[in-house]
Amino acid sequence: MGSKIGKLHRLFDTNFLEYTSYVIKERAIPAIEDGLKPVQRRLLQTLYNMDDGRFHKVANVVGETMKLHPHGDASIFAALVNLANKGFLIDRQGNFGNIFTGDQASAARYIECRLTPLAKEVMFNKDLTEFTESYDGRMVEPVTLPAKIPMLLLQGADGIAVGMSTRILPHNFIELLHAQIDLLKGEEVELYPDFQQKGLIDITDYNNGNGKVRCRARIEETNEKTVTITEIPYGTTTSSLIDSIEKASKSGKIKVTSISDYTAEEVEIEVKLPRGIYAKDTIKGLYAFTDCEVSLNSNLTLIKNDLPETSSVDEVIQFNTDKLVKDLTHELEIELSRLNEKLHARLLEQIFIEERLYKQIEEKKSYKEVLSTISSSLIPFREELNRDISKDDIERLLEIRIKRISRYDIDKQAKEIANIRKDIKLVEKSLKDVISYTIDYLEALVEKYGDFYPRQTEITEFKEVVARKVALSNLTMGYERTTGFFGHTIKANGEDDISFQCSEYDRLLLIFNTGKYKVIPVPDKLFVGSELAYAAVLKRDVVFNMIYREGSENHGYVKRFKTPKFILDKEYELFSSHKRSKILLLTTGEDKHARVSLVPSQRAKSNIVEIDFNDYLIKNPSAKGRRVSTRVVRRVVESTERVLKERANMPLPGMGPVIEQPPEPNDSQDEE
């Protein structure tokens, strides 16, 4: 009896392990290489096999996919609709449901689909694809698709397997490709989720893909008695959101009169309020007690080297970037081999026809003699060819028709051979610097498809946003230059000291004369030193106008930038650090002017340069800017008077005549 129970246990253990492995690898967890689950991969391969440029009935696509998929049509149809609604790989025609309202797609016989141009460009290459037999051995299917972009992070994934689960949040197309470019350039990258439902996101605890994010709906105050929800959090629908509002209303947590859903292509939920209740207070209640704010846990579990493992965003983007370099290298090598073979064939044909070698076989009686004659006649031309002449080469020459020989255009063939050699040189050049080739490839993808995939979700800090709406600016921040202390317990008394009002929930931007800057929370008392040039409450889209000295060159530069992005308490640089580098003037806002005094020169007509900051483009905070003059800057003061037009048209030292719309600065004037 005991032996039978033991055998039964072993049978259960074996079968359970096999089932577990199957569910993990074949159903629930995506692969790191192409970011797809097996059913999604089979769908895309089927669409590629069927592709003729036109739309196909989804029912037909599902039926064709069943030749590769061991399960029924319901799972294939659900996977296709989900993949199509992500908006990257499958074009839709018909009702595929609504990601905002949660409405279901129409039946498979009524809707159509096809591959997008992006999918055809970045997901398929037979030369790079490893195939395996399908479940019944009648067909072959790809092990993974040779994806050239990080699809795992682009689309995201959800899956529940036996003993493990995965939830990978989607990211932005442009940001992912820029991150790969930065990695290839040796720079650090930071990536955060981006959702089709838009909304707001707090990424404080994202933890490189294995933490959590908080998502909020975007709520607008239409009037004091009406609020409108225009964007919803990821993972919710307008139906689930309205249900949560009604539940909160019934429990007395918030008070509403009516809820109207006008959602179609864009979200629009209108909430009416009763007498005595105002929009400003209701918005806070919606975030506190309804699904207008949700928390999403992220768990980056994937299949790598045929085994499940937990990875991170940085590791995935690095893996996909390294894989892209290898794949492009392999493609270039294959292309080079094909071009060399093509050149070899064209050269053989040219020699065979132009040297009239075909006349040597006119009197030959056997096929063996013909082959031998052609082979020996080509020996003097061996140095002109890429490789030795094979029997297949000779047989291809003998297959040339008389009609083609009689119409042979020498000039045209010479031109084609020259073009092939030109293509070979381009491929060889790319192979010598594959990293630059890869960067160019990614930049071309961004330029071609980037406009279709802008960032949808706004990254922000919820505590900051909510607190500022209710907090009073009751703190007076002070900076005392003589002691170097900054905080709301410090009083500013001197002429060079700084003082302004803020609330305890504000974030403060500090910019130092050395070009360093950082964003900090409101401090009681903090030592910042004597080089503080600017301190104020952080506000978005503030335009900064700066003139600074670049220490290593001892030249003055002008630059404009908007409020920079930041990580709290992290120090950044506006220009390269050098002991002689220094901010000479820093102002904010539009219509600002400055007067720059240059070191006198006998040949110069004037030692003054008038600066109108509006003439300079707003660039990245780390951009170098445009040089003021070839001469050394001695002093800079802010000018309160607008420069007269007549004076503006006068030639300035080190510059040509000033024009009303200055041309774009070239690389030597403005460097990123």
Q: For the chain, how long is the longest CA-to-CA vector?
A: 112
> In angstroms, rounded to a whole number, what is the distance separating the alpha carbons of residues 633 and 556?
6
> In angstroms, rounded to a whole number, what is the distance separating the alpha carbons of residues 8 and 144?
37
> In angstroms, rounded to a whole number, what is the distance separating the alpha carbons of residues 188 and 179?
8
CA atoms within 13 A on the CB side of 292: 27
DSSP 539: -
Contacts of 557 (CB under 8 A, 6+ apart): 547, 548, 549, 550, 575, 624, 625, 626, 627, 628
> In angstroms, rounded to a whole number, what is the distance separating the alpha carbons of residues 110 and 346?
51
Q: Is 27 exposed, middle or buried (0-12, 13-18, 19+ CB in 10 A)?
A: middle
**Amino acid letter, residue 488:** H
C-beta of residue 612 within 8 angstroms of C-beta of residue 639: no
615-628 burial, b at 16+ Cβ within 10 Å, e below that, comes to ebeebebebbbbbb
Instruction: List residues bridging with 636 in a β-sheet.
Output: 596
Instruction: Give the pairing of strands 618-619 and 555-562.
Output: parallel
Q: Which one of the listed residues 19, 48, 110, 479 is annotated catalytic?
A: 110
Q: Provide the strand spans (E) within 83-178.
A: 90-93, 112-115, 131-133, 140-142, 157-160, 165-168
Q: Rounded to the nearest 5°, which phi and psi values hold at 568?
A: -55, 135
Which residue's structure tokens are 């806002």? 589
Q: Rounded to the nearest 5°, which phi and psi values hold at 307?
A: -135, 145
Task: Let me know if 557 is a catalytic residue.
Answer: no
Catalytic residues: 110
